[in-house]
Structure 1
Amino acid sequence: MASEDCQDARIARIAAAIRVIPNFPKPGIMFQDITTLLLDTRAFRDTIDLFVERYKDRDISVVAGIEARGFIFGPPVALAIGAKFVPLRKPNKLPGEVISEEYSLEYGKDKMEMHVGAVQAGERALVIDDLIATGGTLCAAISLLERVGVHVVECACVIELPELKGRERLEDKPLFVLVDAA
């Protein structure tokens, strides 16, 4: 949870603003839809504020956002804490020279890419996304950044699906989550 004080009204407001859509994109999936959170200006601001409060004094120089929803939460957090924002994208979306990290999905593989030179060895990074499920994309992001000498301080997500055990895949990397979708 986001706060030692589990009674923080902001967490309840954020959780209430997330719409759950049953059987999307396929039967049995309970899709956590953050578009309704984005429509609620108070809950959206609370989300950004909670992240900023946590990271403002952590000496983070890079906020790495995972495509596509990490692009929503990452830039305002980066600006507020004085860090640069680096997009981590799907293949063939970034112009110029990139480095890639392949990762496994439930059925198949995918890749994540980052511009060469976007980060420097020794920088301290926060990896941000909307949701952690199995942890595959966060693990790929961590690997991509660490390959070039960046220290990943923590990963941050709005929502966690704890039953999918993504947190366990992160091993020793800390994970900060606002809402458990249990």
Structure 2
Amino acid sequence: MKALPSLVSVALAGATLLTLAPEAQANIKNPNDHPDYVAELEPHANFVFLHRDYGLRRVGRRHYNDFGDPEFGLGFRATIELADPAFIPRLNNTVGISFGLDFTNCTYCRRDFTIWSPVTMQWNFFFNDQWSAFADIGAVLRTDGFYDDVWLDFVGMVGGRYHFNDDVSLTMRIGYPFFSFGVSFFTG
């Protein structure tokens, strides 16, 4: 498991280098030079490798670790565009509200599955016709099972997209609490 942070660092460095290529400067300074959309719909797969236990370690059939008990699952995220251009009017950026529902399963944890309900602000930057990046910051409600225990937690993630065309992109995000990989559909 110690190789995972190194692998993630290498992947992020590679994605950053790709977005900083000379041709990537083509659209970043042209506001509104990106897919025209109202909402982004994203089904994805999740990998959770960081946990916060809030002091709820229990002795019993399963043990819960902060790191090392990975969870895998599926989810769906929807982002509704709120501002275009956003905080920096001279750049090709948008802001939206993102919300979703994710289900993960942990074989070795004290619970069988977790339900996650994130709500974030998503700030998007469109570099060129193929590449965009974003940051998500907000909160998530995490539950063990069917709302037996509910916790409010922080969400902080960065991600990138490879756009096949104006309507579909491959999307990856990493941070706390998820690493997710999916496909985004831009609807207008």
Tell me if both proteins adopt one fold, taking TM over 0.5 as the criterion. Answer: no
Relative contact order, higher structure (CA 8 A, sep 6+): 2
Query: When you count helix as a share of all residues, which structure comes out higher?
Result: 1
Bigger radius of gyration: 2
Query: When you count strand as a share of all residues, which structure comes out higher?
Result: 2
